[in-house]
Amino acid sequence: MTSKRPTKPSKTAQTKKSATSAKAAPRARALPFEVDASRNQPLGMSPQAFLRDYWHKRPLLIRNAFPGYQTPVMPEDLAGLACEEGVLARLISHDRASDAWDVRHGPFQEEDFPGMPDHDWTLLVQDVDKWDPDVAALLEHFRFLPRWRIDDVMISFAATGGSVGAHVDHYDVFLLQAHGHRRWMIDASAAMGRPAPDLSFREDAAIKLLRQFNPTHDWVLAPGDMLYLPPLVPHHGVAEDPCLTFSVGMRAPSAAELMGDWLDEVLLDADEAIRYHDEDLALPADPNEIDVSAMNRVVEALNAIRMNDPDRLGDWFGRFITTYRAAGDVMPSGHELPREGLEEVLAQGGALHRHPASRLAWRRRHDGRDASLYCSGRTLVVPQADARRLADATVLDLATWQALSPAARDAGFALYQAGHYGLDSGAGDDAGEDEVEA
């Protein structure tokens, strides 16, 4: 058997490779930072092109992403929500004369708002999609992303001149202008091949503001326009007039969050018999030295407790990522019916409505047959088709319920008992209903 010697690429091949590289580099630079949406392409391009060229890489302004958009929430609605117990709300004010920033946290009192000036303040309310179904419906337009990656819809109302200062986020965000006009300035230096911007913070502000901000782009967004920003792109939004901005933010847990929760999982069932051991111990050159062999044994001991089971690792992450960061909001109503009663109400036209704070996702199990269904930190094993159906449906009527396997109906009933579904009798009164609130 003869072996072929490696050959150098021909000059023709080298020329083709150089030409390809030359084409690739200008293409990246030629990608626009602003596009116009159309009825068939609300992102101004196909979702595949957006994910390939922009997602996590490059900011993009999409004009008329939601043409003629009418906000379902007005400023007075947002102020009322900010007064509710359990709502995450902040009020940020800026004194231009002293360049001082003030931050107050809710819940607020109704009398707090009439006395506010007509300029230079912003009200931000998180998780509005958990409280308002019309806001939650907005997320259907983002099905080109994994649903479990989407964190919430935050809404901000800004009086004229209102802002939260120049800052960066550590996650992807879509900023939809819903009412009024906001001027957005961004620093896209990194995406333009220029030196990365300075991301150090001011030490004299109550919020994390950039010490330096040198914008490369300056746009005014009208209702229906949407700005996409990858992580760590410096940006600064200022209200041109009283305005509402909807922020669709992604969940991007830090390595510290992941490690902390993962270690809790590992340590929960850690085998006390797994310890540091050194049956291969040799006579030490220096009894006070922690040598390389000792450190290798430390690594071996740590590796012995890692999760080698792919299903255990996957189930841990599924529980982690579906656990709502304001956990504790989903509770049984105390009026849950027995299984027979539940199915009787469904047969009479009732339906199960998912709690707005319940997060669902699913994963194929390693055996290739079943799936793990995750709901707000718990795991249920069901067939894959059922996991897909339950994770996607926010309402379960009789037809959907009957299409589920027995195992999936058991899972659905368990989630109902835990408060993740409320039962609506469809009768128009309170009889046979579980109220579903965030």
Give the pLDDT confidence of 194-229 residue by residue, as tens digits.
Answer: 999 999 999 998 899 999 999 999 999 999 999 999
Per-residue pLDDT, averaged over 295-302, amounts to 90
Angle at CA of residue 162, ends 249 and 104, nearest 5°: 75
Does residue 383 register a pLDDT over 90? Answer: yes
Whole-number Å distance between alpha carbons of 436 and 396 = 14
pTM, entire model: 0.86
| One CATH from 3.90.1150.10, 1.10.10.10, 3.40.50.150, 3.40.366.30 for 339-424 | 3.40.366.30
Give the pLDDT confidence of 23-51 residue by residue, as tens digits.
Answer: 444 455 589 999 999 999 999 999 999 99
Per-residue pLDDT, averaged over 82-96, amounts to 94
Check residue 13 and give its pLDDT.
Answer: 47
Neighbours of 36 (CB within 10 A): 12
- The answer to whether the beta carbons of residues 205 and 92 sit under 8 Å apart is no
Domains of the chain, residue spans: 25-250, 258-317, 339-424
CATH code of the domain made up of 25-250? 2.60.120.650
Whole-number Å distance between alpha carbons of 187 and 175 = 16
Check residue 158 and give its pLDDT.
Answer: 98
Whole-number Å distance between alpha carbons of 126 and 105 = 12
Instruction: Quickly state the pLDDT bin for 15 (edges 50, 70, 90).
Output: very low
Would you call 392 helix, strand, or coil by DSSP?
helix
Strands 60-63 and 89-95: unpaired
Structure token digits, residue 62: 């999409």
Does residue 249 register a pLDDT over 90? Answer: yes
DSSP letter (8 states) at residue 126? S
Give me the amino acid identity at 71. T
